[in-house]
Homo-oligomer: A and B are copies of this chain.
Amino acid sequence: MTQDSRRTDHGPTIYEVAERAGVSIATVSRTLRGTGPVAPETRRRVLEAAEALRFTPSRAGVSLAEGRHAATGIVFPDLSGPYYAEVLMGCEEVASELGRSMIVLSTRGRSEVPRLVRDLAGRVDGLVVFGGTVPDDLLAELAGGGHPLVLIASAPLPGADLVAAENHDSAVRLAEHLVGHGHRTFTLLGAGDGSDIAQRWRGVTGVLERLGLPAGAPVPCAFTVEGGYAAGRELLARTGRPDAVVCADDQIALGVLLAAEELGLSVPADVAVTGWDDIMAARHARPALTTVRQPMRELGARAARALDELIGGERTGSRHQTLPTELVVRASCGTHPLEEA
């Protein structure tokens, strides 16, 4: 039981390299990290020994001595759908350039999120957190505890950076486009958990109100294809079906498309449908989905960079960045002049 099984068989240590090269460990360290002066001949011997032993410094040792992890954590709900995956990629790429590893933590379906997040916080220099994944009080505790924190698509938090895509104005553009198609009765699908969605709805209803058009409260709906399908079936089957269904994200919209098809309704002739995010399937659906593209990769990249600044202490005050989105007009919102030609 007290055998050796407690540890993985680690590689050679700096002592072995030092011995083989006939120098002290200090010299090995200096040589390998390029700090401090080393005689050419010594350097050669050290490098040779390190090479021969395939020496890689123990990360734990380095971390402990340096007092930093050279790693950043990222907390997201799930990786299904391209949104989070893309953000993660953007983040990972920049982090890697900055010499940091990325540790991922998904919260979907997890019961002990606070414990997992605390644990994660303990092994990184800073955290990137998606809105709605971690309880606010825990975030506040972390920020208060001096943990550099960057929030993505989330409500602002004192002491933490925030990176988000523009929501309100994009929604205004989308709504105006739909109104331009002649649509008059709208239904918003996907009640807003998080300020993100709420901002979009404010943009849409603002346009409608200005035009004196009715704008009911958003209809609750799971943010999945199945959720959109179920809600779509219900919504489109009843009398007084809306002209246009504006969905909180593409997955919901795809579900609505499925429901419309099944009900024998034509999109966009009978009903217009729009999404949000521009995931891959949006382009390939028929009719292709009109949606709003978010700069997902860029969101991640910005978050990684902001975190690096926070960690490096180059900046103390928190900063909020809002990235522009792009309205992607496809077939699902109505027939376009160009296509008629």
Interface residues of A (CB under 8 A from B): 5-11, 54, 56-61, 63-64, 66-69, 71, 78-82, 85-86, 88-89, 92-93, 96, 101-106, 109-110, 116, 118-123, 125-126, 141, 145-146, 148, 225, 254, 257-258, 279-281, 283-286, 311-313
Beta-carbon contact of A145 and B96 below 8 Å: no
Beta-carbon contact of B85 and A80 below 8 Å: yes
Beta-carbon contact of A89 and B93 below 8 Å: no
29 chain-A/chain-B pairs, Cβ below 8 angstroms: A5-B312, A6-B66, A6-B68, A8-B146, A54-B145, A56-B121, A59-B63, A59-B123, A64-B64, A71-B103, A78-B89, A79-B79, A79-B89, A85-B85, A92-B106, A93-B109, A96-B105, A101-B105, A102-B105, A104-B104, A225-B284, A258-B284, A279-B280, A280-B281, A281-B281, A281-B283, A281-B284, A285-B285, A286-B286
Per a CB cutoff under 8 Å, which of B67, B71, B85 touches A79?
Answer: B85
What is the minimal beta-carbon distance from A293 to any residue of chain B, in angstroms? 15
What is the minimal beta-carbon distance from A177 to any residue of chain B, in angstroms? 22
**A93 contacts across to B, CB distance below 8 A:** 106, 109
Beta-carbon contact of A6 and B67 below 8 Å: yes
Beta-carbon contact of A8 and B148 below 8 Å: yes
CA distance A102 to B123 in the complex (A): 11
Other than the known A101-B105, A258-B284, what 17 A-B pairs have Cβ atoms closer than 8 Å?
A6-B66, A8-B67, A8-B148, A10-B67, A11-B145, A56-B119, A60-B123, A63-B63, A71-B123, A88-B104, A92-B104, A101-B103, A101-B120, A103-B104, A281-B281, A281-B285, A284-B285
Beta-carbon contact of A67 and B101 below 8 Å: no
Beta-carbon contact of B102 and A56 below 8 Å: no
**A78 contacts across to B, CB distance below 8 A:** 89
**A69 contacts across to B, CB distance below 8 A:** 59-60
**A81 contacts across to B, CB distance below 8 A:** 82, 280
CA distance A217 to B6 in the complex (A): 52
CA distance A85 to B89 in the complex (A): 10
**A254 contacts across to B, CB distance below 8 A:** 284
Closest to A63 in B: B60
Beta-carbon contact of B284 and A257 below 8 Å: yes
Beta-carbon contact of B122 and A59 below 8 Å: yes
Given A96-B105, A286-B286, check contact A7 B68 (CB 8 Å).
Answer: yes
What is the minimal beta-carbon distance from A106 to any residue of chain B, in angstroms? 5
Closest to A102 in B: B104
**A110 contacts across to B, CB distance below 8 A:** 96
Quick one: which of A68, A93, A148, A284 has the most chain B CB within 10 A? A284
**A8 contacts across to B, CB distance below 8 A:** 67-68, 125-126, 146, 148, 311
Quick one: which of A69, A85, A93, A125 has the most chain B CB within 10 A? A85
Closest to A5 in B: B313
What is the minimal beta-carbon distance from A330 to any residue of chain B, in angstroms? 13
**A312 contacts across to B, CB distance below 8 A:** 5
Beta-carbon contact of A56 and B86 below 8 Å: no
